[in-house]
């Protein structure tokens, strides 16, 4: 890859995604579940670029959405409504109404209150709402506390007893149709045994409901498959699939999968340039033209991203790689051993395809950067770099004439 040429054409910083790698990982995951009916619902919160979504839709991917805006993105790229599910713990009445009008596959419910709100909306619209209920199996995902979602102390889902009560209510309702069950215990899981433990617990609930004549069609195991940010061994997809399948013996259900990070994290990198180096009595700082508004994961989670200077040689020494934002938390790495750089040197921040651009912001009035994609050996722009005028467009009309 000629990063110098890319810098000349597009300027830094920018995101670069390998669409071919995403396709490969998608097909690999799909193949692991070929023994049973399954459907991948890509968790678009990881990366919602329209060109990426369109590519996945053409691979027959469904979409897991956590806002009505994400639902609209999926529809915009040609996704079929029956391949879209709507999740999230805080859906508004307006969002539920729009989701019902779009006639998506189902809505994941996360509380009794949300169920009653959806029922009232469906009644007003004279529609029947297809639902799934997110069960919180109280399983420790053994991951970062910010991305753990399967314990009773987390805000997501409902306990088993509450789920049973909700299914019984929904089955009797004129305006609710229970079609699935869902769980998602956390993200960046390298140990898949907690997923299998959760599958066992939720499959037992499924059998109990079947005995009560409540026949569900979808068994959604969520996402959360981890990737090797620091060279960790990734989960074996065959073992992952088998551990789920063995819990579903005798159940005629379609398995739902919600990969996000697993598909896109390793496909992407943040390409930036060194502005200059700053040396203090205690520290060497490598200051780059990207910042925490472009990639917040190191600041938010203290997340590790490999950093490479592809054209810079020399003795390695410890430094902090930082951006220009007025926050001490604006860093990409601390005490990382890298060669001494000079102004203009290219820096690659790797494994940045997930939760990079989607979590970016305009903090410090910094325009969001452009996105590029590599597909079939060709690099194309898939999102333009913002301009200052884009940032003020929604405010300018309120300025008073001087």
Binding-site residues for pyridoxal 5'-phosphate: 224, 258-261, 355
Query: What are 59-87's pLDDT values in tens digits?
Result: 999 999 999 999 999 999 999 999 999 99
pLDDT, position 402: 56
**How far is Cα 392 from Cα 390, in angstroms, rounded to an integer?**
6
319 is catalytic: no
Q: Does the pLDDT value for residue 164 go beyond 70?
A: yes
Instruction: Map out the domains of the chain as residue ranges.
Output: 3-15+266-385, 87-259
Q: Which of 236, 272, 326, 370 is catalytic?
A: 326
Give me the percent of the chain exceeding a pLDDT of 70. Answer: 96
**Helix 112-125 with 160-172: angle, nearest 10 deg:** 20
Report the residue count for the chain. Answer: 402
pLDDT, position 304: 96
Query: What are 240-254's pLDDT values in tens digits?
Result: 999 999 999 889 999
How much is the pTM? 0.94
Q: Does the pLDDT value for residue 144 go beyond 50?
A: no
Binding-site residues: 224, 258-261, 297, 301, 327, 355
**How far is Cα 366 from Cα 327, in angstroms, rounded to an integer?**
14
User: What is the dotted CATH code of the domain comprising 3-15+266-385?
Assistant: 2.40.37.10
Query: What are 104-139's pLDDT values in tens digits?
Result: 999 999 999 999 999 999 999 999 999 999 999 888
**Are 257 and 183 contacting, i.e. CB atoms less than 8 angstroms apart?**
no
Q: Which pLDDT band, with edges at 50, 70 and 90, does 400 fall under?
A: confident
Reduced 3-state DSSP string for the chain: CCHHHHHHHHCCCEEEEEHHHHHHHHHHHHHHCCCCCEEEEEECCCCCCHHHHHHHHCCCCEEEECCHHHHHHHHHCCCCHHHEEECCCCCCHHHHHHHHHHCCCEEEECCHHHHHHHHHHHHHHCCCEEEEEEECCCCCCCCCHHHECCCCCCCCCECHHHHHHHHHHHHHCCCEEEEEEECCCECCECCCHHHHHHHHHHHHHHHHHHHCCCCCCEEECCCCECCCCCCCCCCCHHHHHHHHHCCCCCCCCEEEECCCHHHHHHHEEEEEEEEEEEECCCCEEEEECCCCCCCCHHHHHCCCCCEECCCCCCCEEEEEEECCCCCCCCEEEEEEEEECCCCCCEEEECCCCCCCHHHCCCHHHCCCCEEEEEECCEEEEEECCCCHHHHHCCCHHHCCCC
Q: Does the pLDDT value for residue 149 go beyond 60?
A: no
Domain 87-259 belongs in CATH node 3.30.540.10: no
């Amino acid at each position: 890859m000629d990063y110098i040429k890319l810098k000349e054409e597009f300027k830094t910083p920018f995101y670069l995604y390998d669409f071919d790698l995403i396709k490969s990982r998608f097909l690999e995951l799909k193949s692991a579940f070929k023994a049973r009916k399954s459907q991948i619902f890509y968790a678009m919160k990881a990366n919602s670029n329209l060109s990426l979504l369109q590519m996945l839709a053409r691979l027959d991917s469904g979409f897991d959405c956590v806002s009505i805006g994400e639902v609209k993105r999926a529809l915009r790229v040609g996704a079929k409504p029956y391949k879209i599910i709507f999740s999230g713990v805080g859906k508004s009445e307006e969002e539920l109404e729009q989701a019902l009008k779009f006639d998506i596959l189902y809505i994941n419910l996360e509380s009794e209150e949300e169920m009653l709100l959806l029922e009232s909306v469906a009644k007003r619209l004279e529609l029947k709402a297809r639902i799934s209920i997110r069960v919180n199996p109280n399983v420790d995902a053994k991951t970062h506390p910010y991305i753990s979602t399967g314990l009773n102390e987390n805000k997501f889902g409902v306990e088993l007893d509450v789920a049973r009560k909700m299914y019984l209510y929904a089955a009797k309702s004129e305006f609710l149709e229970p079609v699935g069950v869902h769980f998602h215990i956390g993200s960046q899981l390298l140990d898949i045994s907690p997923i299998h433990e959760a599958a066992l617990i939720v499959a037992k609930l499924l059998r109990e409901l079947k005995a009560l004549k409540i026949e569900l069609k979808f068994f959604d195991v969520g996402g959360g498959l981890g990737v090797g940010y620091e060279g960790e061994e990734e989960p074996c997809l065959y073992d992952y699939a088998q551990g789920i399948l063995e819990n579903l013996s005798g159940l005629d259900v379609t398995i739902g999968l919600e990969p996000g990070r697993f598909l896109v994290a390793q496909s992407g990198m943040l390409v930036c340039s060194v502005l200059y180096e700053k040396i203090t009595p205690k520290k060497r700082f490598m200051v780059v033209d990207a910042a925490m508004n472009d990639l917040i994961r190191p600041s938010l989670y203290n997340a590790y991203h490999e950093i490479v200077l592809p054209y810079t040689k020399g003795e390695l020494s410890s430094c902090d790689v930082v951006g220009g934002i007025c926050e001490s938390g604006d860093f990409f790495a601390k005490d990382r051993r890298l060669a001494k750089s000079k102004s203009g040197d290219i820096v690659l921040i790797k494994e940045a395809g997930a939760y990079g651009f989607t979590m970016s912001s305009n903090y410090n009035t910094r325009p969001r950067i452009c996105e590029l994609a590599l597909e079939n050996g060709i690099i194309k722009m898939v999102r333009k770099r913002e301009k200052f005028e884009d940032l003020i467009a929604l405010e300018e009309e309120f300025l008073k004439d001087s």
